Amino acid sequence: MAVEESEQVIPDLEREDNLIAAARHIVMALGSKKNLTSDEKKILSDLGSQLSSMNIQSEKDEGKIGKREDDLDVEDEVDEEDEEGVGVIEERIGLIQEKIMKWEEDQSMIWDLGPDEASEYLNAANDARILIEKLESMHLSKEDQEYKFLQRAYSVLQTAMTRLEEEFSNLLIQNRQPFEPEYVSFRSTEEDVVDGSSFVSLGDESFEESLRRDSVSRAAEEHVIDLVHPAVIPDLRCIANLLFASNYAQECAQAYTIVRRDALDECLFILEMERLSIEDVLKMEWSTLNSKIKRWIWAVKIFVRVYLASERWLSDQIFGEGEPVSQVSFVDASKASILQLLNFGEAMSIGPHQPEKLFRILDMYEVLADLMPDIDALYPDEVGSSVKFECHEVLTRLGDCVRITFLEFKNTVGSNPSTTPLVGGGIHPLARYVMNYLRTLTDYGEALNHLLKDQEEEDAISSSPDTSPGTEEDNRSEGSPGRFPSMSRQFLSFASVLENNLEEKSKLYKETSLQHLFLMNNLHYMAEKVKGSELRVIFGDEWIRKHNWKFQQHAMKYERASWISILNLLKDEGIHAPGSNSVSKTLLKEKLRSFYLGFEDIYRIQTAWSIPDVQLREDLRISISVKVIQAYRTFVGRNNSHMSDKNIRYTADDLENYLLDFFEGSQKLLQNPHRR
């Protein structure tokens, strides 16, 4: 009978020329039958399977589960139930249940067996969902016969959803792509750690070399990778769509979050980021901590710009770009890991404010500040506000730590006491340390100027007095602030604090001449350090000119204190006999003897003194020679006729050669065979 009716409808198929007419014809034919033969059931079952396979392929191409043509079978069957009773519904749910329940006995993962099995299961689960929707639309009561079919369909759907959650998680896990950041390298920093305790003993070059910052090119950081094999993304999207359509959105999102959270933890492990408590960080030795800071700086850039960016992209691929569930899933999966990284930053911000840590704290501040636009873009919605808030909070704390460390170090320098003078009056380690410290800080100009500006604004609001003694330089810098006005004012203030400290240290020397030599050395060093580095932009040429004048003044005062007494011996006053204009040989001989004794004494003392700068040392020797050797040569020449050769202990050339031994930091004695 079905065949006869099929023959009658052929003209209709030809006229309409589409599958919809054929589907309607089949439904009409089924409406007149109470029972189906086994052959008819087999044909219809094969037809349903064929349509299911065709539909799943279409869904993968489109990336979501749409309304399929086999949905028409379920809808039309339910629409015809008033005519044919509940038989069709019961049979339909039986077929669906059979396809779903057979996998409960088989523990194999369906998607591991191939696309056909996966398509059949996915379509069966979707059929159960559609059938439930139709039955629910009938507003059934418990007395209705169809009600038990609805409960049965609920049970089947729940079984299918549980299985799909497992398949979803398994696909995510088994198809995870290995994360190996080969496009960036990380050199172990154990060999070049900066030990703050040894800063003051380092020379200029080694100091700067030790503070050189590691960097990772931004081009290498901005790279989205496939965290899950691209081939399974359509399958994951189909499963997710069906779970969401079946009101299992929370379960789907939770399954995704659990898997991806573990993957993010594994990423941190690969990046060698340990899970450290604040107490662990605070207890670390500086050498170990310094190495971990460097790794954190490197890892956080890779984690945010590569891994989190890729994680967000994966979430958008599966759940849909811009969809709330995509953002929620991403936040839930990534929150713990990003907070783990931020926890290290927070620990660093509350640790002791030691000056040697300032550069690393600034590195951390700069990298986190640079990443904030990326983080804001990754967490744009309210659901990610807690992550953004924590990032901004840690950034603020790191900035506070920078300001406090800088200002505390300046205050420490200002109050740094000394009880023992530096041997030889050379460049004090504190002067080297502070000036190299300031020069290295110029690498952080933008960030440091911003932070110090905030500090100045806070000071202005609270009307707290300026505790720094460098008001003159500060006022001058305000007149021509330059590129980094706040940084300029603070650096000038810091330099003034250092100068005052050096003034106090100079007073530890008993010899006035050595006091001036010490200040000459250190002020010259400061001026040269500024003139020959980026500090020139910060301090300005006026500061350099003033300090050049200052150290020259101390050089003149040194000469006066050291040589004025013996230069007075080379004057003609006091060499004439009383009441006569004739030269007294005895007085002349005594003057020469006193001059030689004075020169030898100065030689013995000042050969042990030090002028580290070669040019400054040479310039001072020349200046001494011009004054002392020239005076000696003139005095001897003018009185040559009144003394014999045995009275001349040293020639002018001898004395000039002896001056070459001055300020080498190695004490010497004059050994002259003619000495009396």
Query: What's the rounded mean pLDDT across residues 191-197?
Result: 38
**Predicted local distance difference test score (pLDDT) of residue 293:** 93
Direct distance between the N- and C-terminal alpha carbons of the chain, in angstroms, rounded to an integer: 150
Angle between helices 115-137 and 87-105 (to 10 degrees): 140
Q: CA 508, CA 421: separation in Å to the nearest integer?
A: 5
Q: What are phi and psi of 226, to 5 degrees?
A: -85, 110
Question: Which of 37-41, 198-202, 225-229, 630-634 is the least confident region?
Answer: 198-202
pLDDT of the residue at 55:
41
pLDDT range class, residue 200, cuts 50, 70, 90: very low
pLDDT for 458: 60
Q: Which of 604, 601, 583 has the alpha carbon at shortest distance from 647?
A: 583
pLDDT of residue 92: 84
List CB contacts of 514: < 8 A, sequence separation 6 or more. 425, 609
At residue 9 the predicted structure's pLDDT band, cuts being 50, 70 and 90, is: very low
The C-alpha atoms of residue 651 and residue 231 are separated, in whole angstroms, by 96
- pLDDT of residue 439 exceeding 80: yes
Number of other residues whose CB lies within 10 A of the CB of residue 203: 10
Selected residue with higher pLDDT from 674 and 497? 497
Give me the mean pLDDT over the 567-579 stretch: 71
* Helix/strand/coil percent split, the chain, to 5: 75, 0, 25
Alpha helices per DSSP H over 271-384: 278-283, 286-302, 309-319, 324-350, 358-378
Please give the average per-residue pLDDT across 131-135, as a whole number.
Answer: 83
> What average pLDDT does range 211-218 have in this prediction?
40
Question: Residues of 236-270 as b/e, b for ≥16 C-beta within 10 angstroms?
Answer: bbbbbbbbbbbebeebbbebbbebbbebbeebbee
pLDDT score, position 660: 94
> Taking 60 as the threshold, does the pLDDT of residue 576 lie above it?
no
CA distance 31 to 188: 78
More confident residue, 462 or 452: 452
**291 Cβ partners below 8 Å, 6+ apart?**
188, 189, 190, 193
- Please provide residue 571's backbone torsions phi and psi, each rounded to the nearest 5 degrees: -95, 155
To the question of pTM greater than 0.85 for the whole model, the response is no
Exposed, middle or buried: residue 465 (CB in 10 Å: 0-12, 13-18, 19+)?
exposed
Q: The tokens of 631 are what?
A: 């005076």
- Say how far apart CA 69 and CA 354 lie, in whole Å: 72
State the pLDDT at residue 574. Answer: 59
| Residue burial 380-415, b: 16+ Cβ < 10 Å; e: rest | eeeebeebbebbeebbebbbbbbbebbbebbeebbe
- Residue 469 sits at φ, ψ, to 5 deg, of -85, 5
φ and ψ at residue 112, rounded to 5 degrees: -75, -20
Q: Please write the tens of the pLDDT for every residue from 509-554.
A: 999 999 999 999 999 999 999 999 999 999 999 999 999 999 999 9
Q: Which of 344, 437, 441 is nearest to 394 (CA)?
A: 344
pLDDT of residue 136: 78
Q: What is the pLDDT of residue 63?
A: 38
Among 280-289, 395-404, 449-458, top mean pLDDT goes to: 395-404
The CA distances from residue 589 to 224, 633, 639, in Å, are 92, 15, 10
Q: What pLDDT, on a 0 to 100 scale, did the predictor assign at position 457? A: 60
Measure the CA–CA gap between 558 and 624, rounded to whole angstroms.
Answer: 10
Q: Round to whole Å and give the CA distance between 431 and 522.
A: 7
Pick from 228, 255, 259: which is nearest to 243 by CA? 255
pLDDT of 483 strictly over 90: no
Tens-place pLDDT, residues 85-116: 467 777 888 888 888 888 877 778 889 888 88
pLDDT value, residue 462: 52
Determine which helix (DSSP H) or strand (DSSP E) holds 516, and give its type and residue range: helix 512-531
DSSP-assigned letters across all residues of 195-231? -GGGGGGS-HHHHHHHTPPP---HHHH-----SB-GG
Average pLDDT of the residues in 381-391: 91
Q: What tokens does 202 get? A: 């380092």
> Which pLDDT does position 46 carry in this prediction?
52
CB of 622 closer than 8 Å to CB of 649: no
Which pLDDT score, from 0 to 100, does residue 274 have? 87
When pLDDT is averaged across residues 137-143 and rounded to a whole number, the result is 74
Q: 3-class SS at 420?
A: coil
* Ordered alpha helix ranges (H), 85-144: 87-105, 110-113, 115-137
Higher pLDDT, 320 or 72: 320
| pLDDT confidence of residue 128 | 85
- Per-residue pLDDT at 617: 96
Mean pLDDT over residues 591-600, rounded?
Answer: 92
Closest CA to 215 of 184, 192, 194: 184
Over residues 391-404, the pLDDT tens digits come to: 999 999 999 999 99
Segment among 286-290, 375-379, 476-480, 543-547 with least mean pLDDT: 476-480
Task: Report which residue type is found at 602.
Answer: I
**HSE value, Cβ hemisphere, 13 Å, CA-based, for 270:** 16
Please give the average per-residue pLDDT across 314-331, as a whole number: 91
For range 228-252, the mean pLDDT = 92
- How large is the C-alpha radius of gyration of the chain? 45
* Alpha-carbon gap, residue 356 to 436, rounded angstroms: 12
pLDDT higher than threshold 60 for residue 461:
no
617: nearest Cα among 422, 426, 430, 429: 426
| Beta carbons within 10 angstroms of residue 309's beta carbon | 19
d(CA 434, CA 526): 9
614 Cα distance to chain centroid:
41
**What is the pLDDT, as a whole number, of residue 456?**
66
The chain-wide mean pLDDT, for the chain, equals 79
Q: Please, are residues 461 and 512 in contact by the beta-carbon 8 Å criterion?
A: no
Can you say whether residue 572 is alpha, beta or left, with left for phi > 0 and alpha for psi between -120 and 50 degrees?
A: alpha
Q: Of 482 and 349, which is predicted with more confidence? A: 349
Among 69-83, 473-487, 593-607, where is mean pLDDT lowest?
Answer: 69-83
Residue 164 has pLDDT above 80, yes or no: yes
Percent of the chain whose predicted confidence (pLDDT) is above 70:
73
Q: Give the pLDDT confidence score for residue 198 in this predicted structure.
A: 35
Given a cut of 80, whether residue 205 has pLDDT beyond it is no
**Distance, CA of 641 to CA of 594 (rounded, Å):** 20
Q: What is the pLDDT of residue 579?
A: 55
Which band of pLDDT confidence, cut at 50, 70 and 90, is reported for residue 131? confident
Q: Which range, of 15-24, 426-435, 453-462, averages the lowest pLDDT?
A: 15-24
**pLDDT greater than 60 at residue 655:** yes
Q: Which of 5-14, 181-190, 314-323, 426-435 has the lowest mean pLDDT?
A: 5-14
The first and second tokens of residue 396, run together, are 């603020």
